[in-house]
Structure 1
């Protein structure tokens, strides 16, 4: 469903940005492979490996995790401090909030609406016979996919790219941040801080509110 017209658009990454967790690591804990997946996630966020290749290899470690485990994973997800305040402030000023994630719809479909997010996009985990197969359904949301989502949502809401804000922490957020009118590094890796328009130090999304148009 197209977004209503808006004054501006704010698009956030999910893991370690909108929420404090890296969801793939929480799911990996269910397979007792959390430490291996955490190390691979860190390398991908630093930009040391191709994101799509890394994601496929990490998701392969999730094979056999029962779908019933998602309730336990969701119970461990923690919104980042200030997330709801930022969303409310954007709405109060006539803006819209999108979230685009290299994570998973299986979690974001619950978390995003609970925080008042208007539109979101993420990867989908393949499943069969009540358990994960270790694969990803459809095209992977990578750096290009994130930038494309920002542009698409801005067009649907009638917002010029100059009136968009992109907030992220990892290397796969850089193209989205470069496409936006303002790229904000939040809780970010050094390479992301170096290339962002502005760096927010405290891990509190309400610190972004003064940047809103």
Structure 2
């Protein structure tokens, strides 16, 4: 009798432990674009100094808003690398492809560089099938400061985390396009 109890207990424990181990890792996709090379001579320089995210986004879990006031941080749907790093890397790539004649980097480029700092306040899916990307950016262009808020909502075409991450990446690319447009309008 004790043997059967031990076997049953072992099976129950192994079933519980294996159900929680199916973790999925996500990386923001980069938009397909041709590789660009640039030289610093005659180019304009932009340093994406930092992309800051709030604590609730800084963990490993993908965030999902379940009501007007509740957020869930997933324990099995995780970012493959820190979200702030992914946002910065994809922003540099997106700006590089949208700003011809510019050298865009995530490290200092010299004395005559413009700097861009972004504060992301929302980067999550929502209960109504939409994704939210919000925050503000601050550009220092030749000593002139430009600060702009952003709030993008896109509707997911399908359910699931895969679609949510793709739509978040699309919204982030869209904001990079808005930043690039603002930079291109500057003297």
Superposition TM-score, scaled by structure 1 size? 0.26
Which is greater in Rg? 2
Higher strand share: 2
Higher helix share: 1
Superposition TM-score, scaled by structure 2 size? 0.28
Larger RCO: Structure 1 or Structure 2 (Cα < 8 Å, ≥ 6 residues apart)? 1
